[in-house]
Amino acid sequence: MKRETKWGFALALAFGATGCYGETVEPGHRGLFFDPRHGGLQREVLQPGYHRTGMYGRIDDFDITFSTKKEDIQTTSQEGLAMMLHLAVIYRPVISELYELDTEIGQNYYDEVVGPEFRSAARGVFARHSYLELQKNDEKIEDEIETDLRRRIRGKHVDIGSITLEGVEYAPEILAANRARLVAEQEAARDKTRLESEALRKRLELASAAEQAKLEAEQELRGKEHERQMAVEQAAIDKTKAESESQTRLTRAKAEAEATTLLAKAHSKEQQAITPLAVQMAAYEALGKLGGSGTTILLGDWSHVPNFLFPAYGGAAPYSKAIYK
């Protein structure tokens, strides 16, 4: 052995004995210490930071953040139509199970377990769905693949975050069929829009005509109501007028009746006022006018007249009814 080699080996032993060998665990990572001289792999999970390993030891480093792995998977639909899937899986190791993961699978656990199970789960899910379902239910299919993958890797010390379907490439015949279907759908959509527009126009015309008819009917009804109100008011006026005229006639009749009654009463009183004496006085007055002035007319029994009123006859009253001087 050369002198330089001996010195190098001695220096290595010296550095190893003093613990100058070590490794750093980065943030977002965890490590397991492996020492072949002291029991091999240790169960303690090493936190981020610098750790001494010695000359023969090492640290198995694990990224514990969520990692994304993309896969291009060739598969077929339920109808047997070929397609290329562009999928991505988000995953990370279970921190509390790093020792089991390292001892049972190793640090290359994606290629050993997650990747194969992921591709198998995706093919199985797509094979259960028809071509049309794959186009309409992306989220549902992603959930199905995630559920199946979790089932497949249960107990493998890996946590699945989610599955995303980033794209699907269809076979040429499917693309042609898709284009034809899209063209047909667009034509159908245009026809539907045109028919709906026409139907909407007709509905609007009918609605406008109905509204116009309604307005005319309401206007006619308002006119008839106005006429009815005018008739009612006119009837009230006529009734008031008739009642007024009737009251006037009644008042006039009462007044006339009262006047007639008063006249009758007055006439009756007048009749009652003409006594026999008044008749006699009136008769005397009339006879006096017939005889002229200076004439005396006596009526009645002359035997009761005093004789001194008739001196011409010797104080005896004549048998005649009248004496003229």
| pLDDT single digits (tens) 28-84 | 999 999 999 888 999 999 999 999 998 899 999 999 999 999 999 988 888 788 888
Residue intervals of the chain classified under CATH 3.30.479.30 are 66-170
Helices marked H in 274-314: 276-291
For residue 90, what are its two tokens? Answer: 């988000």
Q: From CA 58, how far away is CA 41, in angstroms rounded? A: 9
CA 46 to the chain's CA centroid? 62
- Taking only the tens place, the pLDDT of each residue in 229-271 is 888 888 888 888 888 888 888 888 888 888 888 888 877 776 6
pLDDT of residue 24: 94
Indicate the pLDDT class of residue 5, thresholds 50, 70 and 90. very low
Average pLDDT value for the chain: 81
Domain 66-170 fold: Tetrahydropterin Synthase; Chain A (3.30.479)
Give the three-state DSSP class for 91.
Answer: strand
- Taking only the tens place, the pLDDT of each residue in 122-166 is 999 988 888 777 767 788 899 999 999 999 999 999 999 999 998
Indicate the pLDDT class of residue 17, thresholds 50, 70 and 90. very low
Most confident by average pLDDT, 78-82, 83-87, 311-315: 83-87
pLDDT at residue 18 is higher than 60? no
pLDDT at residue 285 is higher than 80? no
Handedness of CA 130, 135, 136, 139 (dihedral sign): positive
